[in-house]
């Protein structure tokens, strides 16, 4: 099975920490952009011969798509791809961009997983991040989403920000836990190149983030989420404990784990649609033109390309077997419980983990960062705080 990622790189306002492919002030382009997405969906769908089991609308701010346009896009998705009956359809939303009517419309279209960019419960931190919502907006959005029929709601939160204290982080976690959602994604703030936050810190206007404090925040949050009935299944992701009975239950422990992101972490194929979207399919990693205007123009020009590429293609890189195996290790070790299975790796590549990565796994195991057994390899708890160093062994 494959997954589909749909990029919607439009925002009302770009956040101070964001280095994603997102643009403010281009609302007039949205109708033409969605029409281009529909064209790309139909073109790519012609070559897709596997069922689609997850669709993810990422941003930018996908909740800015008007419902009539989103309805047209959903029609093209269903006409173009074979969506499974239990297809997970996720949409990212800013808490202050949704109301009761919009959320009900999303559910009627088939969106069954809502990811809200909450980030913090502290007014000063939200201001620092350039967010336009309040904690009350988050609480209201969760309440309205439940009333609209959403049974799978995720919240994104940020820790390790300049000036953030353990007390403010604990308050943020506890207030969002009290909302009764089903999934949390927690991200350490990264001062990415070109972002206002990086510039403010480099100019001395803000203190450097405290990496030791961020590590303490991470460990405390893991314990607090565990006490609240959540299980960590990926370095940055926790899902409410509720067993899901499926034919693939060995790999899927909870219906609240994000199946779309699991597709990435297991290094399975996915198609990228829209401006700046990335894909991995047919032996290639590829990306579309980043600019929404350039994307629309390329789709209008309609230069034919072989599957999985569309007229919007900007770059494609062939991936050989050795690189794919390394990428499977790099992404798979993010799965803190599952890790990389010896059986699945051998079935996929005809070689065992020890045949290919004995040196790397041996070193990480000797340092106490990775548990390596006959069943496979996975990060130990001690390895999660230095995960990027461990991943570099497979780059």
What is the number of domains present in the chain?
A: 2
pLDDT value of residue 254 = 76
Same domain? For 261 and 338 the reply is no
Same domain? For 348 and 222 the reply is no
For residues 60 and 324, give the distance between their C-alpha atoms in angstroms, rounded to a whole number.
29
Furthest CA-CA distance within the chain? 57
- Given a cut of 80, is residue 261 above it in pLDDT? yes
Domain boundary residue among 265, 290, 316?
Answer: 265
- Contact indicator for 295, 283 with CB cutoff of 8 Å: no
79: its two tokens: 């006409």
- Given a cut of 90, is residue 359 above it in pLDDT? yes
- Given a cut of 60, is residue 245 above it in pLDDT? no
Share of the chain above pLDDT 70, in %: 97
**Peptide bond before residue 160 is cis, with ω within 30 degrees of 0:** no
In a domain, 301, yes or no: no
- Per residue in 319-352, pLDDT tens? 999 999 999 999 999 999 899 999 999 999 999 9
Same domain? For 228 and 358 the reply is no
In the sheet that holds 340-341, the strands lie side by side as 340-341, 376-379, 370-373
Domain boundary residue among 247, 265, 283?
Answer: 265
What's the whole-number average pLDDT of the chain?
95
pLDDT value of residue 253 = 57
- Per residue in 268-317, pLDDT tens? 999 999 999 999 999 999 999 999 999 999 999 999 999 999 999 999 99
- Given a cut of 80, is residue 247 above it in pLDDT? no
- Per residue in 68-79, pLDDT tens? 999 999 999 999
In a domain, 102, yes or no: yes
Same domain? For 186 and 96 the reply is yes
Query: Rg (Cα) of the chain, in Å, rounded?
Result: 21
For residues 57 and 31, give the distance between their C-alpha atoms in angstroms, rounded to a whole number.
16
- Given a cut of 50, is residue 251 above it in pLDDT? no
pLDDT value of residue 243 = 58
Would you place residue 241 in the very low, low, confident or very high pLDDT band (cuts 50, 70, 90)?
confident
DSSP state of 142: H
Same domain? For 205 and 68 the reply is yes
- Given a cut of 50, is residue 249 above it in pLDDT? no
Domain boundary residue among 208, 234, 265?
Answer: 265
For residues 157 and 139, give the distance between their C-alpha atoms in angstroms, rounded to a whole number.
14
Same domain? For 241 and 147 the reply is yes
pLDDT value of residue 244 = 55
For residues 88 and 152, give the distance between their C-alpha atoms in angstroms, rounded to a whole number.
10
In a domain, 237, yes or no: yes
pLDDT value of residue 151 = 97
CATH number at residue 83: 3.20.20.70
In a domain, 244, yes or no: yes
Same domain? For 8 and 139 the reply is yes
In the chain, DSSP assigns E strands to 2-8, 10-11, 23-24, 52-59, 83-93, 113-119, 153-159, 183-188, 230-234, 237-240, 270-273, 278-281, 284-288, 313-318, 340-341, 370-373, 376-379
In a domain, 98, yes or no: yes
In a domain, 277, yes or no: no
DSSP state of 145: H
- Given a cut of 90, is residue 386 above it in pLDDT? no
CA distances from 193 to 160, 201, 287 (A): 17, 12, 20
5: its two tokens: 């990622």
In the sheet that holds 113-119, the strands lie side by side as 230-234, 237-240, 183-188, 153-159, 113-119, 83-93, 52-59, 2-8, 270-273, 278-281, 284-288, 313-318
- Given a cut of 90, is residue 256 above it in pLDDT? yes
- Given a cut of 70, is residue 252 above it in pLDDT? no
For residues 141 and 229, give the distance between their C-alpha atoms in angstroms, rounded to a whole number.
22
CATH number at residue 348: 1.10.10.920
Same domain? For 100 and 221 the reply is yes
Domain that holds residue 350: 334-394
In a domain, 308, yes or no: no
Same domain? For 247 and 346 the reply is no
- Per residue in 119-159, pLDDT tens? 999 999 999 999 999 999 999 999 999 999 999 999 999 99
Cα–Cα–Cα angle for 384, 387, 392, nearest 5°? 165
In a domain, 150, yes or no: yes
Same domain? For 125 and 242 the reply is yes
């Amino acid at each position: 099975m494959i997954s589909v990622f749909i990029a919607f790189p439009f925002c009302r306002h770009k956040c101070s920490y964001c280095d994603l492919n997102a643009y403010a002030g281009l609302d007039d382009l949205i109708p033409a952009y969605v029409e281009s997405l529909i064209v790309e969906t139909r073109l790519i769908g012609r070559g897709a011969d596997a069922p689609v089991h997850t669709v993810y609308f990422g941003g930018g701010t996908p909740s800015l798509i008007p419902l009539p346009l989103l309805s047209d896009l959903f029609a093209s998705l269903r006409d173009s791809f074979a969506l499974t009956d239990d297809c997970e359809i996720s949409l990212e939303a800013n808490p202050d961009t949704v109301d009761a009517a919009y959320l009900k419309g999303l559910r009627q279209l088939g969106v069954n997983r809502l990811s809200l960019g909450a980030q913090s419960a502290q007014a000063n931190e939200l201001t620092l991040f350039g967010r336009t919502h309040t904690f009350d907006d988050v609480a209201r959005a969760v309440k309205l989403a439940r009333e609209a029929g959403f049974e799978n709601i995720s919240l994104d939160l940020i820790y390790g920000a300049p000036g953030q204290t353990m007390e403010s982080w604990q308050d943020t976690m506890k207030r969002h836990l009290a909302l009764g959602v089903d999934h949390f994604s927690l991200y350490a703030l990264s001062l990415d190149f070109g972002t206002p936050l990086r510039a403010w810190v480099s100019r001395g206007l803000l203190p450097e983030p405290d990496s030791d404090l961020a590590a303490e925040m991470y460990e405390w949050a893991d314990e607090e989420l565990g006490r609240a009935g959540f299980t960590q299944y990926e370095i940055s992701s926790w899902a409410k404990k509720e067993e899901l009975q499926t034919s693939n239950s060995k790999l899927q422990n909870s219906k609240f784990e994000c199946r779309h992101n699991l597709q990435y972490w297991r290094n399975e194929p996915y198609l990228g649609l829209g401006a700046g979207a990335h894909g991995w399919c047919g032996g290639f990693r590829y990306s579309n033109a980043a600019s929404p205007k350039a994307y629309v123009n390329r789709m209008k020009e309609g230069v034919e390309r072989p599957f999985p590429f569309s007229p919007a293609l900007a770059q494609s890189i062939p991936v050989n077997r050795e690189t794919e195996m390394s990428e499977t290790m790099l992404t798979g070790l993010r799965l803190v419980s599952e890790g990389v299975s010896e059986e699945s790796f051998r079935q996929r590549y005809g070689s065992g983990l020890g045949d290919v990565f004995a040196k790397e796994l041996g070193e990480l195991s000797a340092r106490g960062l990775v548990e390596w057994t006959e069943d496979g390899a996975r990060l130990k708890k001690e390895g999660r705080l230095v995960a990027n160093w461990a991943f570099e062994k497979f780059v």
